[in-house]
Structure 1
Amino acid sequence: MDSRISALEKGRPADCSGRLDKEIRCYDLLDSLGIEYFRIDHPAAPSREACRGLDEVLGTQICKNLFLTNRKQTEFYLLMMPLDKTFCTSDVSHQVGSSRLSFASSDYMLEFLDITPGSVSILGLMNDKDHRVKLLVDQDILNSKFVGCHPCINTSSLRFHTEDLFGPVLKALDHDMTPVHLD
């Protein structure tokens, strides 16, 4: 194990000094809901390649999260999918009844989710007060026991029970979820 990756710990860090407000807000939300979660801290992991080794310590795979938009940039989507699946724009576009989807700009990501590239996470939906972003989740994620994601920053990763994330957490985020199936 990389010595720069912390051991798996339950809950928020004992000392939150030096952490960003958006990360602390994630812990506050989860704690207010009484959700059990586990955390690891690690060097910045802005890509799947950088996340290699984290999954083993976390005890689940960290989701691939894509921030997407339609051609007119009037509809925005956060797609959660397993690492081993490939994003096919025509397939997902057809399932959600949207024109061709492509990657949305980092400006929209920051404006709607208060997240920068490499830190995209379902927990960023807590910042989407105007409900501009629709959540899409691959069925394999929904069928898994645990879900892994970042707390709005890519230097920590969290593990939840899937039923907690898509139950009380999603309800508190005040967003709906649309299941999709990716090959």
Structure 2
Amino acid sequence: MKKDGKNARGQVYQALDELKISYQVHEHEAFFTVAEADEKGYALPGLNLKNLFIKHKKGPERWLVILEDHCRLDFKALGKLTGWGNKAAFAGDEELMRCLGLTPGSVGPFGLLNDREHQVIVVLGKAVCDAEEGTLVNFHPNDNTATLSLTKKDFLKFLRHMGNPVIFEI
């Protein structure tokens, strides 16, 4: 079931408002990759992040890896962290929709609102872990035509509320 962007955003805004988390909305054209945003010169103050939805090639495990936008995922390090070795791969569009209720280009931590069984494990990259609590972090609100800015402290509050396992620093 595909969610339209407006409804997807509303779900995120409602959750953040209920948690009394402050955020700023930045409207923009749809960006599907970091490279597209770079081409248009789009960057916000704080940490601009990318979110990768990773799966075990043969098992049910799913991971949401959050990295600084120009950082490459170290699959070897992820393999050690997960115990998978070289069995990690990017999850497909259908899995992304099934697990997080998201479409490609909209991947981010707010998709955890759709993971009612808390099966997706969140992995935070070094840039996020090392950032001060007041540093702004930027994510799509389950729709890639906007970006939300909130503090790292409030982002961690959101993650705690969601209840998904979180691993710090890959």
Tell me if both proteins adopt one fold, taking TM over 0.5 as the criterion: yes
Q: 1:136 aligns with which of 123, 127, 147?
A: 123
The residue aligned with 2:152 is 162
Quote the Cα distance in structure 2 between the aligned partners of 1:172 and 1:66: 21
CA 1:159–1:104: 2 relative to 1, 3 Å:
same
Q: Which amino acid aligns with 1:161?
A: T
TM-score, normalised to structure 1's length?
Answer: 0.82
Instruction: Give the number of aligned pairs.
Output: 161
Q: 2:24 aligns with which of 14, 21, 38?
A: 38
Report which stretch shifted further, 19-28 or 117-126. Answer: 19-28
Q: Is the 8 A contact 2:54 2:62 kept in 1?
A: yes
Structure 2 alignment gaps of length 5 or more? none
Note the 1:70-109 alignment, pairs <5 A: 70-99=56-85, 100-109=87-96
The residue aligned with 1:175 is 164
Quote the Cα distance in structure 2 between the aligned partners of 1:107 and 1:73: 16
The SS at the match of 1:67 is strand
The residue aligned with 2:45 is 59
Compare relative contact order (CA 8 Å, sep 6+) and give the higher one, 1 or 2: 2
Give how far 1:19 is off.
5.0
Q: CA RMSD in A?
A: 1.5
The residue aligned with 1:3 is none
Q: Is the 8 A contact 1:95 1:180 kept in 2?
A: no
Runs of 4+ in 1 over 6 A off after TM superposition: none
